[in-house]
Amino acid sequence: MGASLQRIGTWKKRLLLHFSACGAFARLPKMQLLKMGRPTILAIPLLLDAEQSGRQPAVHLLARQLQREFNTEEPIVYDTVQMYLKASPQRLDQALHYAGQHGYIYAVKLVRGAYIEQERPFGTIFDTKEDTDAAFETAAEKILQAIVTKRPSAALMLATHNRSSLFNAVQMMEKLGLARNDQRVHFAQILGMVDNLTYALGLAGYNASKLLVFGQIHEVLPWLLRRTRENRDAFGAQAHELPVLRNEIRRRLLGRLGRVPR
């Protein structure tokens, strides 16, 4: 019993809550939960998801208010910035500046952005994937630098399945002298997608999380289907890793049969 409680305690400590419009969390009375101070009492970081750009100004405003209140000592509330939006580099600069002025930690989940088809007609997103990639890399570098140089500091959740982006961030951390397990830097991927990368990061000592969708099947399935569509590139990359995966399966099967794998 004691051991189980301890395990639950560890799990709870490592839990990062994502609030999105999908799933059961959407129905939680968010403000009520936040007013109760739940995130700080449980010391559970809370990540506000980003959606279509029309909704985002309100969400960013809410994030800013919550960060001012809760992020004074440690990063509790994370905003999400979608780097496929042309406006995001400037938004990021302003957010960092504002946090510095008001003495709180700017915590941000960086993503490329999931609503490309809906955004395209409004002309809000970069014209090419390369432009989005460049904006994403620059933003990640900027936040990592802010973590080291700014007081109060910043915090980053790099949410991507892109191998190069993960590799660049890891290299930048090393260059800046950030410890692999520095609590101000986290990596996250969706459960079932590029698990090999998440596990490799975790094994190497980085803070690596899997996003686990929680809710009714009819609520979460459309969300997961959208994610599989936009992550075709990541699945393509995984296809190149098929020999590695085959070897791993073989190694585990042989291990079960008691044979030492070659």
Stretch that binds ligand FAD, among 121-129, 171-179, 216-224, 249-257 (CB under 6 A): 121-129
Taking the least distance from each CB to ligand FAD, the nearer of 40 and 162 is 162
Size of the site for ligand FAD (CB under 6 A): 28
Of 147, 188, 197, 208, which lies in the binding site for ligand FAD, with binding defined by CB under 6 A? 188
> Where would I find the H helices in 78-121?
88-102, 116-119
Stretch that binds ligand FAD, among 96-104, 112-120, 148-156, 170-178 (CB under 6 A): 112-120
Of 16, 116, 134, 220, which lies in the binding site for ligand FAD, with binding defined by CB under 6 A? 116
- Least CB distance from residue 50 to ligand FAD, whole Å? 4
CB neighbours of residue 162 within 10 Å: 20
DSSP state at residue 204: T
Of 132, 153, 198, 238, which lies in the binding site for ligand FAD, with binding defined by CB under 6 A? 132
Nearest to 249 by CA among 201, 196, 194, 202: 196
Q: Indicate whether 129 belongs to the interface with ligand FAD (CB under 6 A).
A: yes
Tell whether omega for the bond before 261 is within 30 degrees of 0, i.e. cis: no
Taking the least distance from each CB to ligand FAD, the nearer of 51 and 182 is 51
Which SS3 state, helix, strand or coil, does residue 19 take?
strand
φ and ψ of 46, to 5 deg: -120, 125
CA 197 – CA 247 distance, rounded (Å): 16
| Cβ proximity of 157 and 186 under 8 Å | yes
| Cβ proximity of 230 and 156 under 8 Å | no
- Least CB distance from residue 174 to ligand FAD, whole Å? 21
Residues 79-108 that bind ligand FAD (CB under 6 A): 80, 82, 84
List residues binding ligand FAD (CB under 6 A): 49-50, 80, 82, 84, 111-116, 125-126, 128-129, 132, 159-162, 188-190, 211, 230-231, 233-234
